[in-house]
A = this chain, B = another copy of it.
Amino acid sequence: MRIVSADTGGALLDGEYEPIGLIATAAVLVEKPFRTASLSIEKYSNPFDYDMSGRDAIKDETLLALKLAKKVKPDVIHLDSSLGGIPVRHLDDVTIDALRISDRGKAVWHDIGKELRPIVKRFWENTGIDVLAVGKSSVAVRVAEIYAGLYSTKWGIEYALKEGAARIGLPRYMKVELKRGILRGESLDPREGGLYGEIFPEVEEPVSIEVYPNPVARTFMVVEIKV
């Protein structure tokens, strides 16, 4: 089973450790034994002008996942939306209303479904690859989340090289480490069975990276970068 997935995560934090906006969307190809990505691509957002409603995130994720899927032809695409694994091409208005999710979730899907459903449907007609709204039960979604944290850290390093410093809030229970040019991210939840990711940020200047718990968001870590 070869799975493409995408997720958005990693936030620029203010002085009170509260998120200003999200930074990166990552799409990943996850193959057996399903612990990391064999390939990843990213897209950066502007955290200073970020739509926190979740609409932008799910659109970015779908489009980035399709971009990677066109290249690697997976068996299936997993989105980070916990709708029980329903194919997104089935999400017409009647089906959305029948879902057992919050009214806010329904409003988001009514809104973005109009735009995404034709795209996803055409992709399925052309390739036979389905886009499923599986959410948290997918390991591939979690691997994408770890990569979003890695790319957000990379963004933070570049930001710090310009601005002198950056504080990045990582996705839930993961840590990062920069060692010999490799930026490695690991899940802090051993129940997940050892999920991790690695990217190569090509940092030229020496930067100092400190990882510690976000005091106002238990189980979330902060990456503090100083040049």
Cα of A14 to Cα of B210 in the assembled complex, Å:
44
Interface residues on A, range: 35 or more
Whole-angstrom distance between the Cβ of A202 and the nearest chain B Cβ: 27
Find chain B residues with CB under 8 A from A215 CB.
Answer: 1, 3, 30, 32, 34, 138-140
Find chain B residues with CB under 8 A from A217 CB.
Answer: 137
Contact A189 B190 (CB under 8 A): yes
Cα of A211 to Cα of B213 in the assembled complex, Å:
26
Which residue of the partner chain, among B136, B194, B212, B213, contacts A218 with CB atoms under 8 Å? B136
Contact B218 A138 (CB under 8 A): yes
Is A206's beta carbon under 8 Å from chain B?
A: no
Contact A34 B213 (CB under 8 A): yes
Secondary structure call for the A interface = loop
Contacts A17-B1, A33-B210, A210-B33 given; does A193 touch B216 at CB 8 Å = no
The 8 A CB mask of A187-227 against B (1 = contact, 0 = none) is 01111111100000000000000111111111101000000
Contact A35 B212 (CB under 8 A): yes
Find chain B residues with CB under 8 A from A140 CB.
Answer: 215
Contacts A137-B217, A139-B218, A218-B138 given; does A32 touch B212 at CB 8 Å = yes
Is A175's beta carbon under 8 Å from chain B?
A: yes
Whole-angstrom distance between the Cβ of A194 and the nearest chain B Cβ: 8
Find chain B residues with CB under 8 A from A212 CB.
Answer: 32-35, 193
A–B complex contacts, Cβ < 8 Å, 10 sampled: A1-B16, A3-B215, A33-B212, A33-B213, A137-B217, A142-B218, A188-B190, A191-B219, A192-B218, A195-B213
